[in-house]
């Protein structure tokens, strides 16, 4: 495919002729005449094709010049593919083995050819099905600690980081989505919002009139917009993670940009919590109690692994311009560095709770809902699960500076969840 060719969306029928001269594909899949192509994208933005040939498979992902979920009425730049490609490369370097291997990138056509992960499934689906994945806390705690620490001024060379930050600032259209959909739209009757009605009408009106909550949302938005601490994944929900019993891979970093470290952590934990609150809608005869225990353990486990690995990196890899060793260890004051670490993690924990609360709200009140709740068949039960999650989200966002640990939140989560039972 000539690079100068104008953008054209791929179709299963046209893909073999358009990509059939790509050596990376023919090497792995054989000649294009033998390819079998399926479009399997179920996300909000892109086309995703599985291309099979010679008994092997590859993923071809292509951005569209608009938001797939909404249609051509909402244009979106193809450049997000460039940021996704660049983020994948950086994540592979900073957290080896955590993302799919990338084989080819075509900037003009916004195409990324990457490893087909099999027998992996999307984490959200696995959790809805009640699967307990044993590696989640370990793998995702490590992924976040390594990518967030190593992409920051705690680690990188300052000029290189500034150049990279300037590059990712170009991903403004995707930031704009997050800025509107996460931090603003849920808190007024924005045009594309929806919620389970009429059951949630009362709680929605109450949340939208809640001054403390709106202040919290805008404080978190201020942090998201202004605190370019590290390269974020930017959309780390359970639909952006693929799993088997033995492996966890993070996909789809097209929202990558430089923002506050706690954003990725908060988004992930929020999606675990939503899974927790939605289990009641998927259970038969108490069958999900063990799953709920697993999810609470995974939430605290993920944070613990994240905190421990971040602390290890702080002690061993703090080579950047922040909290420099010349001020601490080199003066025999290792304890000073520990004190700084403790304060850093404390602030990160508070921010994490703030982002998590808002992420829960926007998935129930905004445009982009989660299958965790959407697949609950009975509407009244769905609404009860959502109401419990909304209350929980409000509590952690508003009271984030007064919550000492995740253990301290388990009681509230349990209580609200039990109230969502019939």
Q: Which residues make up the interface to ligand SR1 (CB under 6 A)? A: 43-45, 67, 69, 177-178, 181, 235, 368
Of 237 and 394, the one with the shorter C-beta distance to Mg ion is 237
Task: Report which of 76, 108, 99, 130 is spatially closest to residue 8, judged by C-alpha positions.
Answer: 108
> What is the C-alpha separation between 140 and 145, in angstroms, rounded?
8
Picked from Mg ion, ligand SR1, none, the partner binding residue 177 (CB below 5 to 8 A depending on kind) is ligand SR1
Using CB under 5 A as the binding rule, whether residue 84 contacts Mg ion is answered as no
> Does 253 participate in binding Mg ion (rule CB under 5 A)?
no
Least distance to Mg ion from the beta carbon of 360, Å?
18
Question: Closer CB to Mg ion, residue 252 or residue 264?
Answer: 252
Given Mg ion, ligand SR1, none, residue 69, with its beta carbon under 5 to 8 Å by kind, binds ligand SR1
Stretch that binds Mg ion, among 96-104, 155-163, 252-260, 263-271 (CB under 5 A): 252-260
Q: Is 43 in the site for Mg ion (CB under 5 A)?
A: yes
Contacts of 96 (CB under 8 A, 6+ apart): none
Cβ 227 to Mg ion, closest distance in Å? 23
Q: Which is nearer to ligand SR1, 124 or 282 (CB)?
A: 124
C-beta closer to ligand SR1: residue 1 or 70: 70
- Is 351 a binder of Mg ion (CB under 5 A)? no
Other C-beta atoms within 10 Å of 54: how many? 13
175 or 313: CB nearest ligand SR1: 175
Distance CA(3)–CA(170), nearest Å, equals: 22
Q: Cβ 193 to ligand SR1, closest distance in Å? A: 12
Q: Which is nearer to ligand SR1, 172 or 245 (CB)?
A: 172
In 3D, which of 330, 338, 353, 358 has the Cα closest to residue 405? 353
Least separation in angstroms between CB 236 and Mg ion? 10
Residue 181 interacts, among Mg ion, ligand SR1, none and using kind-specific CB cut-offs from 5 to 8 Å, with ligand SR1
Shortest distance (Å) from residue 69 CB to Mg ion: 11
Partner that binds at residue 322, options ligand SR1, Mg ion, none, CB closer than 5 to 8 Å by kind: none
Which phi-psi region, left, alpha or beta, contains residue 267 (left: φ > 0; alpha: ψ -120 to 50)? alpha
Judged by beta carbon, residue 67 or residue 232, the one nearer ligand SR1 is 67
Q: Please state, in angstroms and as integers, the Cα–Cα distance from residue 352 to each residue in 220, 262, 276, following that order.
A: 10, 5, 18
* Structure token pair of residue 244: 């088997």
* Residues contacting 169, CB < 8 A, separation 6+: 257, 258
Q: What is the helix (H) or strand (E) element at residue 32, kind and residue range? A: none
Give the separation between CA 412 and CA 201, rounded to whole angstroms: 23
Of the candidate spans 37-45, 48-56, 99-107, 170-178, the one that interacts with Mg ion by CB under 5 A turns out to be: 37-45
Question: Using CB under 5 A, which of 252, 264, 372, 391 touches Mg ion?
Answer: 252
In whole angstroms, how close is the CB of 359 to ligand SR1 at the nearest point? 9
For the CB of residue 89, give the shortest distance to ligand SR1 in the complex, in Å.
Answer: 21
- Residue 255 near residue 249 (C-beta atoms within 8 A): no
Query: Least distance in Å: CB of 69 to ligand SR1?
Result: 5
Beta bridge partners of 71: 67
DSSP for 238-260 reads GGGEEE-SS-EEE---TT-EEE-
Q: Does 260 bind Mg ion (CB under 5 A)?
A: no
Reference 41, options 147, 122, 160; nearest CA is 122
In three-state form (DSSP H/G/I as H, E/B as E, the rest C), the secondary structure along 365-411 is: HCCCCCHHHHCCCCHHHHHHHHHHHHHHHHHHHHCHHHCCCCHHHHH
Would you tell me which residues interact with Mg ion (CB under 5 A)? 43, 252
């Amino acid at each position: 495919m000539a690079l100068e060719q104008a953008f054209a969306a791929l179709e299963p029928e046209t893909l073999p002729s358009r990509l059939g001269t790509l050596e990376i594909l023919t090497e792995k899949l054989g000649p294009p005449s033998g390819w079998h192509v399926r479009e399997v994208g179920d996300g909000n933005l892109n086309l995703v094709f599985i291309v099979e040939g010679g008994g092997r498979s590859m993923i071809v992902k292509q951005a569209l010049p608009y938001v797939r979920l909404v249609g051509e009425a909402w244009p979106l730049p193809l450049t997000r593919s460039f940021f996704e490609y660049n983020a994948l490369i950086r994540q592979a370097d900073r957290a080896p083995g955590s993302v799919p291997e990338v084989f080819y990138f075509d900037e003009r056509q916004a195409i990324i050819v990457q490893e087909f992960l099999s027998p992996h499934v999307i984490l959200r689906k696995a959790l809805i099905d009640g699967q307990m994945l044993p590696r989640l806390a370990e793998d995702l705690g490590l992924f976040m600690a390594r990518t967030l620490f190593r992409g920051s001024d705690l680690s990188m060379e300052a000029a290189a980081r500034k150049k990279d930050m300037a590059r990712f600032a170009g991903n403004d259209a995707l930031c704009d989505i997050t800025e509107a959909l996460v931090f603003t739209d849920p808190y007024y009757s924005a045009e594309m919002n929806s919620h389970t009605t009429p059951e949630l009408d009362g709680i929605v009106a109450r949340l939208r009139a809640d001054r403390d909550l709106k202040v919290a949302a805008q404080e978190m938005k201020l942090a998201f917009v202004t605190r370019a601490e590290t390269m974020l994944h930017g959309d780390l929900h359970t639909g952006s993670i693929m799993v088997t019993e033995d492996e966890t891979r993070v996909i789809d970093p097209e929202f990558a940009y430089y923002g506050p470290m706690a954003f990725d952590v908060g988004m992930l934990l929020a999606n675990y919590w939503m899974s927790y609150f939605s289990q009641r809608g998927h259970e038969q005869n108490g069958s999900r109690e063990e799953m709920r225990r697993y999810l609470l353990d995974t939430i605290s486990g993920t944070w613990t692994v994240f905190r421990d690995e971040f602390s290890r990196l702080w002690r061993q890899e703090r080579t950047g311009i922040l909290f420099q060793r010349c001020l601490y260890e080199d003066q025999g004051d290792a304890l000073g560095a520990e004190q700084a670490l403790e304060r850093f993690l404390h602030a990160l924990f508070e921010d994490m709770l703030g982002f998590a609360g808002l992420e829960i709200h926007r998935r129930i009140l905004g445009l982009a809902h989660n299958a965790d709740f959407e697949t609950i068949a009975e509407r009244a039960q769905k609404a009860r699960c959502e109401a419990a999650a909304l209350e929980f989200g409000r509590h952690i966002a508003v009271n984030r500076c007064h919550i000492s640990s995740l253990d301290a939140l388990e009681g509230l989560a349990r209580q609200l969840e039990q109230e969502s039972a019939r």
